[in-house]
Amino acid sequence: MLPIQLGIAARFLSSSSSSQQEGSNKPQQQQQQQPAKEAFDSLELTEEKMHAITDKIPQKPVTVVEGTSYMVIILGAFAVLAFFIYNFLTNFILEPTYQTCFNETLQRLKLDPRITVRLGNDIVGYGQESPSRVQRQQIPHQIYKDANGTEHCRLQFNMRGPGGVAIVNADMFKDSSGSWDYLYLIVDVKSGSSPPQRLNIVAPK
């Protein structure tokens, strides 16, 4: 009987000691989990505080004057861009009608012996007699349509060469093929000491 009682007592002691160890481990695990939970809760509180602080920061409203200023700047930028695009197209891609007529007329007169014998070979053409480069580049012209609806371009410009100066008057129109022809082409030449002379390169029709 004594050995049996000793065995039962040993089992009881071992079970009680293991239960005590498990009971002692549970508070430790709870203590380990509790700081992590507290850290998470504190992090959430910190984010909430940050949101509360940022929500309280006043945002500067855009006034009417600032909005108008921005609009004026944007419109001004578009206007400058449109100006440069227009000048690029008209000067480099889409040549104006009067410029086309001026170039054709000047080239024709440079090859005409009646002009070269009086002005020389190195002839230049320009708009107005002025020291201003801008006015010299502007060719006085008039675009109109006659009674038949034919488009005309009337020109007046100056020529200068080593032998003298001249004033050119021309009226050009588009023929049935779409090419430019002359209604008249008149050149008033002043060469050296000779009196002014009128040359009817193309007599009025």
Secondary structure in 3-state letters for 32-59: HHHHHHHHHHHHHHHHHHHHHHHHHCCC
Its pTM stands at: 0.55
- Select the more confidently predicted residue: 12 or 42: 42
1 has pLDDT over 60: no
φ/ψ of residue 151, rounded to 5: -80, 135
Closest C-alpha among 132, 130, 182 to residue 153? 182
Q: What pLDDT does 48 receive?
A: 62
Whether domain 97-202 has CATH 3.40.640.10: the reply is: no
pLDDT, tens digit (0-9, with 9 covering 90-100), for 54-105: 555 555 565 766 778 888 889 889 888 887 787 666 555 677 999 999 999 9
Q: How confident is the model at residue 107 (pLDDT cuts 50, 70, 90)?
A: very high
| Domain residue extents for the chain | 62-94, 97-202
Closest C-alpha among 142, 160, 161, 139 to residue 151? 142
26 has pLDDT over 70: no
CB 180 within 8 A of CB 173: yes
DSSP tag of 163:
T
Q: What pLDDT does 4 receive?
A: 46
